[in-house]
Amino acid sequence: MTSMLINREDLDFLLFDLVQAETLVTRDRYAEHSADTFRAIIEAAHTLAEEKFAPHNRKADENEPTFDGERVHMIPEVAEAVKAFADGGFMAAPHDEEWGGMQLPITINQACLALFRAANVGSSAYSFLTSANANLIRAFGTESQKQRFLPPMFEGRWFGTMALTEPHAGSSVPDIRTTATPVGDGTYRIKGNKIFISGGDHELGENIVHLVLARLPGAPAGARGISLFLVPKFRVDADGKPGARNDVALAGLIHKMGYRGTTSTMLNFGENDDCIGELIGEENRGLTCMFHMMNEARIGVGMGGTMLAYTAYLHAAEYARTRAQGRPIEAKDPTAPQVPIIEHADVRRMLLIQKSYVEGALGLCFYAARLADDARTAPDAAERADAEQLLALLTPIVKSWPAQFCLEANHLAIQIHGGYGYTREYPVEQFYRDNRLNALHEGTHGIQGIDLLGRKVALEDGAVLALLRRRIAATADSARACGNAELASHADALQAEWDTIAETTTQLRAVTKEDIRRGLANASVYLDMFGHGVIAWIWLQQAVAAHQAQQAGTRSAAFCAGKLAAARWFFNCELPKAGPQHALLRRLDATALDAQADWF
């Protein structure tokens, strides 16, 4: 039976034909692996996702966690699922063997996680947040911190959170007010209120380790005065044993539109002046530590947005193939049998848009994950640096493009289901609600636009953008080398678009230097436009790979034809949308910038 989580042929294609994950096994770190072990681990993840995560996805949505003033209650399936995840080795999978990990490449690990995201984004978040937390401890913790905190986290006994946001400081993290006062014994007394802390309280394990941003006494104002602290729910002694309850109180659960299975919490630290934490990383370098982890977290957000739409697309395609309704538009006989709705051009149009969005986005996420692997393990230092920088440039797109366009794909999956799609008897409405979060957390859409246009495209005086364009040119060359007129035409369109993007960028950067408000006023439009350019590039890569697989007969004919059709759609019907965006950006449209508050 067809999996509704992912098209495994597509996953294999993206991992091995597109980003050539098997080449990673030449790296020392991954030398124990082979393409076969990669596939076996993915298979195990797929089975676990189908068996332990997917079955309670709707139930967790309909029975969200509750707080009785003392404890958080949730359906028992969540604890079973996260335990099975850890028992299967997935908590530690990408980590060092010395910590019990498999040293799985980030690319393959993300492929595994993608399956859990598609199956149940709410339940899998507890483990993923813990993994992000552990990553940070591994990178910045002292040896003692690593020894005490990592093993129970990798074993799935302890969980972790990231506690950044405060009620008065959402996107403006530097404005946080939580304080950390030295006790004198090397620990700190933490005091402050945090909000929107995912997984901030629950009873899935023995402890919850909060990574809390706070200010030391006399720290400089703003971003340069923020430090990071490890604050466990139950205090941890020098041997790593959890003991007394720390002064971390759940002030309440937040009730969300979707993603309901994940507790979102308001936490009070130090209400009774008795919340003890320990510094991790250097004083006043908390944001640097946090942002070090952000690239990977943002790949995770992109992957989450993508997979929620990917599974919805599979449901829509299946529904369209099996639901009979209406007749071909040219048919005259009202007694003829109804046809599957996939026979209607408009339904195929909606499927093709979804396919071009979700498979394009997934290709981008894997490309980014591969860059993360290359940044860590490529043999050549220059190659590592290139990968690091390219990833930094692409991160705003990875974070934001799926949140914007895969949500649109979710919208279309509902539309294909007609009235049924709007009901909770079908899964697509939940995927849509769940996915709406992704344009908000880990940096809103607007913040990503400012990051891209205000910072990333200017990195190294534009050298990183130039590097991206060289990669794009190489893809275009490989497309022209296929000897296929359509691919050559896509290649020309892609390079023309990137010439245009480069010109628009140069113009906007020049303005930004003079007048940053005017230069960045339409950064969100720039973000969407740039994203379409990136996804077109990913689609040309996929088209080339599909063409080659078609020639070699290594993938099924229908699969290759579908890939080439989705690429065609993206080049013919999506990329041209950038035209009016360039015009808007180049004329420095100030309609919004000049609007006054009392006009609304």
Q: Which of 196, 498, 537, 539 binds a copy of itself (CB under 8 A)?
A: 196
Residue 1 DSSP one-character state: -
Least Cβ distance, residue 165 to a copy of itself (angstroms): 7
Name the residue nearer to a copy of itself (CB basis): 483 or 587: 587
Which residues in the 513-542 window bind a copy of itself by CB under 8 A?
Answer: 516-517, 520-524
Task: Determine if 344 is a binding residue for a copy of itself (CB under 8 A).
Answer: yes
How far apart, in whole angstroms, are the C-alpha atoms of residue 71 and residue 530? 46
Please spell the DSSP secondary structure of 60-77, one letter per residue.
Answer: HHHS--EE-SS-EE--HH
From candidates 71, 73, 168, 470, binder to a copy of itself by CB under 8 A = 168
Asked whether position 254 contacts a copy of itself by CB under 8 A, the answer is yes
Among 161, 165, 306, 475, binds a copy of itself (CB under 8 A): 165
For a copy of itself, which is the closer residue by CB, 177 or 241? 177
Query: Do 492 and 538 contact (CB within 8 A), yes or no?
Result: no
Integer angstrom CA distances of residue 587 from 271, 384, 529, 591: 53, 38, 15, 11
Helices (H), 481-555: 485-514, 516-520, 523-552
Binding characters for a copy of itself, 406-445, by CB under 8 A (x = yes): -x---x--xx--xxxxxxxx---x--xx--xx-xxx--xx
With binding defined as CB under 8 A, does residue 348 bind a copy of itself? yes
From 429, 442, 497, 574, active-site residue: 442
Q: Does 583 bind a copy of itself (CB under 8 A)?
A: yes
Q: Work out which of 25, 84, 169, 473 binds a copy of itself, going by CB under 8 A.
A: 169
Q: Which among 18-26, 298-306, 315-323, 488-496 is the span making contact with a copy of itself, rule CB under 8 A? A: 315-323
In single-letter form, the type of residue at position 174 comes to P
- Catalytic residue list contains 442: yes
Cα 537-539-542 angle, rounded to 5 deg:
115
Tokens of 123: 């339940």
Smallest separation, CB 4 to a copy of itself (Å): 13
Does residue 486 touch a copy of itself according to CB under 8 A? Answer: no
The reply on whether position 255 binds a copy of itself by CB under 8 A is: yes
Binders in 205-244 for a copy of itself, by CB under 8 A: 221-223
Sole window of 233-241, 377-385, 482-490, 591-599 interacting with a copy of itself (rule: CB under 8 A):
591-599
Examine residue 174 and tell whether it contacts a copy of itself (CB under 8 A).
Answer: yes
Region from 202-210, 500-508, 546-554, 575-583 binding a copy of itself, contact rule CB under 8 A: 575-583
Binds a copy of itself (CB under 8 A): choice among 352, 394, 476, 546: 352
- Helix (H) or strand (E) segment spanning residue 159: strand 158-163
Min. distance of Cβ 35 from a copy of itself in angstroms? 26
DSSP codes, 8-31: HHHHHIIIIIIS-GGGGGGSGGGT
Q: Is 589 in the site for a copy of itself (CB under 8 A)?
A: yes
455 counts as binding a copy of itself under rule CB under 8 A: no
Which residue reads 């309280």 in tokens?
Answer: 201
Per rule CB under 8 A, count of chain residues that contact a copy of itself? 104
The answer to the question of residue 345 lying near a copy of itself (CB under 8 A) is yes
Q: Are 417 and 429 in contact (CB under 8 A)?
A: no
Closest to a copy of itself by CB, 258 vs 270, is 258
**8 A C-beta contact, residue 409 and residue 313:** yes
Classify 69 in phi/psi space as left (phi over 0), alpha (psi -120 to 50) or beta.
Answer: left
What residues between 56 and 95 interact with a copy of itself by CB under 8 A?
A: none
Query: What's the rounded Cα separation, in Å, for the pair 398 and 302?
Result: 5
Cα–Cα distance, 503 to 482 (Å, whole number): 29
Q: Does 379 bind a copy of itself (CB under 8 A)?
A: no
φ and ψ of 277, to 5 deg: -135, 170
Note the residue count of the chain: 600
Least distance (Å) between residue 305 CB and a copy of itself: 14
Is 585 one of the binding residues for a copy of itself (CB under 8 A)? no
Q: Closest distance between a copy of itself and the C-beta of residue 430, in Å?
A: 8
Residues 63-72: contacts with CB within 8 Å, 24+ apart?
64/255, 64/260, 64/261, 65/202, 65/253, 65/261, 65/263, 66/253, 67/201, 67/250, 67/252, 67/253, 71/203, 72/201, 72/202, 72/203, 72/250, 72/253, 72/263
Question: Rg of the chain over CA atoms, in angstroms?
Answer: 24
Work out which of 26, 144, 338, 551 binds a copy of itself, going by CB under 8 A: 338
Q: How far is the CB of 431 from a copy of itself (least distance, A)?
A: 11
Shortest reach from residue 268's CB to a copy of itself, in Å = 18
Q: For residues 224 and 285, what is the distance between their CA atoms, to the nearest angstrom?
A: 7
CB atoms within 10 A of CB 189: 18
Q: Is position 485 an interface residue for a copy of itself (rule: CB under 8 A)?
A: no
- The CB-of-395 to a copy of itself minimum distance in angstroms stands at 19
Q: Which of 171, 506, 551, 554 binds a copy of itself (CB under 8 A)?
A: 171
Segment contacting a copy of itself by CB under 8 A, of 31-39, 133-141, 167-175, 539-547: 167-175
Q: Which of residues 16-55 bind a copy of itself (CB under 8 A)?
A: none
Q: Position of tokens 């739409």?
A: 309
Phi, psi of 95 (to 5 degrees): -90, 170
Instruction: List active site positions.
Output: 442
